[in-house]
Chain A
Amino acid sequence: MSAVAVDVRGVSRVFAGGGVGAVTALDDVDLTVAAGEFVSLIGPSGCGKSTLLRLVADLDAPTSGTIEVFGRSPEQARLAHDYGIAFQQAGLLPWRTVRANVELPLALHGTGKVARRARAEEMLALVGLTDFADHFPDQLSGGMQQRVAIARALAEEPSLLLMDEPFGALDEMTRERLQNELVRICAETRAAVVFVTHSIPEAVFLSDRVVVMSPRPGRIRTVVDVGLGRAAGREDGVREDTAYFAAVTAVREALRGGALVPARGVDVP
């Protein structure tokens, strides 16, 4: 496996506006995500963070610049099922059971019934929903639905997980619990993650690096190295750590305006 999961070079995306002129959603963006690294994209609405994720996922094409996913084009990576994705809406198929939803990617790609079932069991155990395998999505809470969506995204053991505000519609308590779970899951699967969010604490808690973006045109303003230690050891306690607060402050300052912040090991006065 290549040591680089995602390589974005000089990427711009201009949407031809109807009458009001073109909108530059992304302007000359460079970003590299290493294999196994957790990177969050954060910024105000209109900063192009979701657009960038969609470009990596081959749901959209850049106006200029190149994107590589494990050394391949996004389209090749998509066709090769190199990545899993979770959207803000869980997007489960309501007529399928939880188990059948998790099995969906495997079923579409021709995995045998027995292997499919075993893998779904494993994934449901990973997200703690073993007991709900035969339920239908409408019988689950929003947080549980999102966990099923994550299980589905991980079903094919992707080396890259793309997440577009997956916890955006959930309440704060559920959010924090799912964040803890995501940290544990990432430690277990060793997948690289690109995570779009507009929550500073969420970005800092989850990430190795937080990419702060600014709008109109969408650019990367700065990258904050968080360095809260190995994902495996990270727990709720981290949320009360000085290093955590320092990183939160660093990201907030970067979002607010301006000065490049020396991120790693920021001292709080």
Chain B
Amino acid sequence: MSARTLPAPGADADAAQRVLAPVLLGLAVLAAWQAAVTLGELPAYLLPGPAAIASEVVAFLPAIGGAALVTGTNALVGLVLGSLAGIGLAVLAARTRAVDALLGPLVAALAVVPIVALAPVLYTMYGASSEVARQLVAALAVLVPVFVNSLRGLRQVRPVHRELMRVLAATPRQVTRAVTIPAAVPFVFTGLRLASSLAVISAIVAEYFGGPRSGIGSFITTAAAGSNYARAWAYVVGGIVVGLVFYVATLSAERAVTRHHAPGTGPS
């Protein structure tokens, strides 16, 4: 290997520092938390210590894993459905001005609706034993950011590219495939990244309002209602893991598709 392909001498140290610093800070916070709980003799309902939470996580690991799987599946189904709907509507709105005029205000209205508030209504519509209501809540929450970002992306064709396609006598279909869609892709993926966290949050919060006792949210409420505070926190940890998985997955996807889209790199 030539020296040129090696990272610069300081790079390793920089990377280590970038990872190490927040980890150390996190550990310090945990230690302070534990010290406060132990020395301050805080009651568990006020704040359980990290050690207690960790032991609950270990004890209930299969249950937490199962609940995370249920919530994760709901969020994923919602993310897929909401994204397909959002992208589809954005394509229609980009193509037809009338559709845009109709959809614009509607989506703006949807954006201010507290969507999880719909959960009780949806439970009565789809039955309290079904996960459909939760998936729909997640889908609706996802729809808005995906629609807005996709539509913006579909309008990103640069004038010089539009003229180039005209000069090359490209058909509308060729223009769509060669320029419009590739230019929109990074924006769509940014929308997906923003939406992924919303999908998980909505799926969890929707469980607070009823439905089957299966996901992270419903176990948090059950544990808290039974005064098992440390166990409730253990399920919260499970929810954090689900959220992180979704975020990292969509962030990596976004990074992968935008590798060569970086703006401001030369007068291209």
Please give, as numbers and ranges, the residues of chain B lying within 8 Å of A81 by CB-CB distance.
168-169
The count of A-to-B residue pairs whose CB atoms sit within 8 angstroms is 70
**In the assembly, what is the distance between CA of A94 and CA of B259, in Å?**
10
Would you give 7 A-B contacts (Cβ < 8 Å), ordered by A? A89-B268, A91-B268, A95-B260, A108-B168, A108-B169, A137-B268, A142-B266
**In the assembly, what is the distance between CA of A140 and CA of B167, in Å?**
24
Q: Is B155 in the interface zone, CB < 8 Å from A? A: no
Q: Is B265 in the interface zone, CB < 8 Å from A? A: yes
Report which of B164, B174, B265 forms a contact with A91, defined as CB distance below 8 A: B164
Q: Is A92 in the interface zone, CB < 8 Å from B? A: yes
> A94 near B166 (CB under 8 angstroms)?
no
User: Interface size of A by Cβ–Cβ distance < 8 Å?
Assistant: 27
> A138 near B169 (CB under 8 angstroms)?
no
Please give, as numbers and ranges, the residues of chain A lying within 8 Å of B268 by CB-CB distance.
89-92, 94, 137-138, 145
> A90 near B260 (CB under 8 angstroms)?
no
Q: Is B6 in the interface zone, CB < 8 Å from A? A: no
Q: Which residues of A contact B (CB under 8 A)?
A: 57-59, 78-79, 81, 85, 87, 89-95, 104-105, 108-109, 136-138, 140-142, 145, 169
Report which of A58, A105, A138 forms a contact with B266, defined as CB distance below 8 A: A138
**In the assembly, what is the distance between CA of A109 and CA of B167, in Å?**
12
Q: Is B262 in the interface zone, CB < 8 Å from A? A: yes
**In the assembly, what is the distance between CA of A58 and CA of B261, in Å?**
30
Quick one: CB contact mask for B14-42 with A, threshold 8 Å, 1 for yes? 00000000000000000000000000000
> B169 near A93 (CB under 8 angstroms)?
no
Please give, as numbers and ranges, the residues of chain A lying within 8 Å of B169 by CB-CB distance.
78-79, 81, 108-109
**In the assembly, what is the distance between CA of A132 and CA of B262, in Å?**
19
**In the assembly, what is the distance between CA of A145 and CA of B182, in Å?**
19
Among B163, B267, B268, max chain A CB count under 10 A is at B268
Please give, as numbers and ranges, the residues of chain B lying within 8 Å of A78 by CB-CB distance.
166-167, 169
Quick one: CB contact mask for B161-177 with A, threshold 8 Å, 1 for yes? 10110111110001000
CB proximity of A136 to chain B, nearest CB, Å: 4
> B266 near A108 (CB under 8 angstroms)?
no
Tell me the nearest residue of chain A to B185, going by C-beta. Answer: A95
Please give, as numbers and ranges, the residues of chain A lying within 8 Å of B260 by CB-CB distance.
94-95, 136-138
Tell me the nearest residue of chain B to A101, going by C-beta. Answer: B268
Interchain residue pairs A-B with the least CB separation, the first 10: A91-B160, A138-B265, A136-B260, A95-B182, A137-B268, A169-B267, A89-B160, A92-B268, A142-B266, A79-B169
CB proximity of B201 to chain A, nearest CB, Å: 32
Please give, as numbers and ranges, the residues of chain A lying within 8 Å of B167 by CB-CB distance.
57-59, 78, 85
CB proximity of A162 to chain B, nearest CB, Å: 9
**In the assembly, what is the distance between CA of A138 and CA of B262, in Å?**
8
Among A59, A90, A94, A104, max chain B CB count under 10 A is at A94
CB proximity of A95 to chain B, nearest CB, Å: 4
**In the assembly, what is the distance between CA of A136 and CA of B265, in Å?**
11
Report which of B166, B170, B179 forms a contact with A93, defined as CB distance below 8 A: B179
CB proximity of B154 to chain A, nearest CB, Å: 15
Q: Is B178 in the interface zone, CB < 8 Å from A? A: yes
Please give, as numbers and ranges, the residues of chain B lying within 8 Å of A136 by CB-CB distance.
259-260
Besides the contacts A89-B267, A91-B160, A136-B259, what 6 more A-B pairs have beta carbons closer than 8 Å?
Answer: A58-B166, A94-B260, A94-B261, A94-B268, A95-B261, A142-B266
